[in-house]
Every structure is written in C-alpha cells, then in structure tokens.
Amino acid sequence: MTPILWSFRRCPYAMRARLGIAESGVRVELREIVLRAKPEPFLETSPSGTVPCLNTGADVIDESFDVMRWALAQNDPNDWLDMPDLGDDLIATCDGPFKKALDRYKYAIRFDDVDVDAEKQTAVDFLTRLNDQIGDRAFLFGDAPKLADYAILPFVRQFAHVDQDWFYAQPLPNVIRWLDAFKSSDRFKWIMTKYAPWADGDDPIYFP
C-alpha cells in the first residue's frame, strides 16, 4: 500500500513531517484533517490522536521527527542525516524547553500562573544559541541544510508569528535571515499547499 500521512497544514509538527517526506521524494497519500473534527479512521490509526501520523502499512509512526527519519532512511539525496551530533542536541532542545516555553508564551491563557516574560526569555535563549551557531552561514552547519534545520524551523516560525513586530526587533539577525529564507523558499511554499479536508470516498491526494 501507499503510506498514508494524516496531516494538518498549519501544525509545525506536520510541517516538519512533510518537509522530510518532500526531501526524500517517498510518495505518500496525504490526508488533511480539521483538528476540531477528526475523522474516525484517523482516530483509529493514531495512538495519540495528534498529527502527523504516518501509516506505512507495516507500522504506524506517530511522532513527527520519526516520520522525517523514516523518509530520509529510504532516500536522503542531500545528506540531511549526515550532521554533527550537535544537531540532535538542538532538536531535543527545540522539542523540549523551547516548545514548552513557546506554548506558554503563545497560549498563556491555557496555563496557570504563567510568567510570559520568563517564557519568552527561555525561548530567546535558545534562539540566541541558534543565532550564534548559524553565524554568517546559510544554515546551522554550513551552506547546505541538514535535518536539524528543517526539524527546527517550523517552530521558530511559530514563535516569530506570535508577535512579529517584537520578534523582528530582537538582536537575532542570523536567525531572522535563516527564517526569512525558509518562509520565502519554494520548499516551504510546496509543503504549505492547501488541500480540502479528507473525507471517505475522496480521490487520493499524493505527496510529494
């Protein structure tokens, strides 16, 4: 069977998965969902009820980073997986402390006793680390992207879009340049194509 990817266009985790699949060229059937009206076949597939969720036919992969690695393990034309160990550390920090701070900054009303300024500072500390790592290069580890770049960029984009005027006033020139290049790239436009929500009986949509 063709692997089935359940996705939601604006979710940074789903963006990350689509980036990995698009880079690999491994074809999947893309099923866009609406999070407030999750279809029953999706809920029957996803152990967590969250996107992305990839049904390969042999396995169900319910974590976005694992979807990226699954796709690139089959075809990695530009050696995204060949990166320094620091890349894995940066991804872990993004998925842990940075995402926690991002959620409490963006969705402060959902949490009790949130110090929004402290959460913003935690996030900025990580972005400062990225800014120093990028330096005058195009990407985290040089002039070509690696897995860490595209595993992290969707979350930096999400953070920036909470208050863009404030974000673009921060002393993070390398991160801003890196993010802006990503948002204006054909790669980003490609994975952000809009699709109607999936319904049983629809003709399949193949991606990429």
User: Could you tell me the CATH number of the domain that includes residue 121?
Assistant: 1.20.1050.10
**Torsion angle, CA of 133/135/182/72, rounded to 10 degrees?**
-40
Dump pLDDT digits (tens) for 12-52: 999 999 999 999 999 999 999 998 899 999 999 998 889 99
pLDDT, position 45: 93
Question: What's the CA gap between 38 and 77, in Å, rounded?
Answer: 34
* CB < 8 Å & 24+ apart, contacts of 99-106: 99/155, 101/126, 102/155, 102/158, 102/159, 105/159, 105/162, 106/158, 106/159, 106/162
Same domain, 47 and 121: no
Query: In this predicted model, what pLDDT tens digit does every residue of 101-114 receive, in sequence order?
Result: 999 999 877 888 88
Regarding whether 197 and 167 lie in a shared domain, the answer is no
- The verdict on 103 and 142 lying in the same domain is yes
Q: What is the mean pLDDT of the chain?
A: 95
Domain tally, the chain: 2
pLDDT band at 64 (very low <50, low <70, confident <90, very high): very high
Q: What is the Cα 109 distance to its own chain's centre?
A: 24
pLDDT at 47 (0 to 100): 84
Q: Are residues 107 and 174 in the same domain?
A: yes
Cα dihedral 119, 121, 122, 127 in deg (nearest 10)? 130
28/57 same-domain check? yes
Helix H or strand E segment including 32: strand 28-32
Same domain? 90 vs 182: yes
Query: Residue 120: which domain range?
Result: 85-188
Residue 198, amino acid: W
